[in-house]
Amino acid sequence: MSDVKLEDIVSLAKRRGFIYPGSEIYGGLAGTYDYGPLGIALKRNITNLWWKTFVDDREDMYGIDSTIIMNPKVWVASGHVDTFNDPLIEDVKTKKRYRLDHLLEDQGVEDVDAMTLEEMAQVIKDRGIKSPDGNELGAPAQFNMMFKTHVGPVDDDESVAYLRPETAQGMFTNFKNVVDSFYPDLPFGLAQIGRSFRNEISPGNFIFRLRELEIMELEYFIHPNDWERIFEDWRTMQHEWFNRLGLDPARIKEHEVPEADRAHYSKRTMDCFYDFPSLGFQELAGLAYRTDFDLKSHQDKSGKNLEYRPKDGSAPFLPHVIEPTFGLDRHVMAVLSNAYCEDEVNGEKRIFLKLPAHLAPVKVAVLPLVKNKPELVVKAREVYAMLKKEFGAVLWVDTGNIGKNYRKMDEIGVPYCVTIDFDTLEGDAKDTVTVRHRDTTEQIRVSISGLSAQLR
């Protein structure tokens, strides 16, 4: 696995219909990617599992789906208008712009996250750091990453709005609605899966850093006295989630974010990093104790009372919040990276995705040995229809020779290939098929009547 590079994952993802560059026929657009048929299936398998794990299987979670464009006052209250910034610097000759902290990290500068903009500028000066093109760099500046738009027919200051940079605020602004509708006991949580938009200065590394991304996120409302215990509970649940995805525990590590690097709302943040090909350990998910920052800020700015009234009649209070956040696109990238395998079969290199069966976008492939024998195709179609009804995600494959088709199915992570051959039609093996296992390439004969049970 140490020899696998990011470009191997990118190449496979495009070649086999997982992920394509966005707007590719027009030269693409930096930081945008489109999910192909297999990519969207894999992504939905992840989101469905996440929703089942953290919402459907619990009694203390409530799902919502908030709007992408919100009243701009939301982003003033949340602090995004003033603080959602990244340091920007420009090549004075080419006018290319770079994210300054990433530029310094690439030059081996340590503890960049704890530096002020002025300190970063001084490092540039002291070390004589140039742009990637070898040119002088200009003065650094802060760059707000929110995408600005206008609502209505007039483009003026009164019509300014933003594409949401995170899903969290939609849950905070709906806190009172959910309490009024359901009056849940504390602790309880709100869950949301949705798109966010960040005008990244330098997006890149495939789908790791995007301008349009998806987040799976929870806001778990608690009594402030319980935050440390519940924080630890969520740390455990995050690792259990990674196990359900089949991620290698050796490629996951926790990172306690020091106070100087934490977001303005956080009293404690624990990030989970995954060891991505070519990138090393990078953030996959986060866990933050946001205190009552958000509810208090929205209460102050909106003038609405957001306190929770305990059912035992004790004094109302603003709940505190534990926030587990999971980057969906990074989850897709981690699952693909973790599953990517190479071996040798009959003296030839083989690439296969060792995806867990419950995540594989195609569960079973059905292949007639040849497509020019009508009786064989008819029988194969019968088997296909039976399995399609049972498993849903079943693929019909009748192009090319059987060996090449097996390799194609390996590359998209199909756990089982079912081949209908001439023995299926007559002889001692009548009404049996060949089942080939992706990981071992082992082939066994199975009766059609017992096929569904064998594949479960």
> pLDDT, tens digit, for every residue of 315-374?
999 999 999 999 999 999 999 999 999 999 888 899 999 999 999 999 999 999 998 999
Lowest mean pLDDT among 62-76, 93-107, 176-190, 386-400: 93-107
pLDDT band (50, 70, 90) for residue 183 = very high
Q: Determine contact, residues 245/333, Cβ cutoff 8 Å.
A: no
pLDDT interval class at 261 (50, 70, 90): confident
Q: Concatenate the DSSP letters of all residues of 123-176 into one string.
A: HHHHHT---TTS--B---EEEE-PPEEE-SS--SGGGEEEB-S-SHHHHHHTHH
For residue 1, name the pLDDT band (cuts at 50, 70, 90): very low
Phi and psi torsions of 122, nearest 5°: -70, -35
What's the burial of 190, exposed, middle or buried (CB within 10 Å: 0-12/13-18/19+)?
Answer: buried
The per-residue pLDDT for 2 is 56
- Does residue 423 carry a pLDDT above 50? yes
Which DSSP helix (H) or strand (E) runs through 303? none
Closest CA to 282 of 104, 107, 102: 102
**Gap between the Cα atoms of 455 and 444, Å rounded:** 12
Cα 403 to Cα 50, 330, 412, 433: the distances in Å are: 36, 33, 15, 16
pLDDT tens track for 117-170: 899 999 999 999 999 999 999 989 888 889 999 999 998 888 999 999 999 999
d(CA 224, CA 201): 37
CB within 8 Å of 177: residues ≥ 6 apart:
none
**Among 374, 379, 388, 364, residue whose Cα is nearest residue 430:** 379
Mean pLDDT of 207-225: 97
pLDDT at 94 over 50: yes
Edge-to-edge, what's the strand order for the sheet holding 85-90? Answer: 97-99, 85-90, 141-144
The encoded tokens of residue 176 equal: 């009172």
Q: What share of the chain is helix, strand, coil (3-state, %, to 5)?
A: 35, 30, 35
C-beta of residue 59 within 8 angstroms of C-beta of residue 106: no
Report whether pLDDT(65) > 60: yes
User: Would you say residue 440 has pLDDT above 60?
Assistant: yes
The domains found in the chain, sorted by start residue, are: 6-70+153-336 (3.30.930.10), 85-144 (3.30.40.230), 362-455 (3.40.50.800)
Instruction: Report the predicted TM-score, pTM, of the whole model to 2 decimal places.
Output: 0.91
State the sign of the Cα–Cα–Cα–Cα dihedral 111, 269, 192, 45.
positive
Widest distance between CA atoms in the chain: 83
**141-144 and 212-222 strand pairing:** unpaired
Beta carbons within 10 angstroms of residue 85's beta carbon: 15
Q: What is the mean pLDDT of residues 48-60?
A: 98
Residue type, 288: A
Q: CA-to-CA distance for 402 and 329, rounded, in angstroms?
A: 33
Cα-based distances in Å from 117 to 139, 303, 382: 10, 35, 67
What amino acid occupies position 364? V
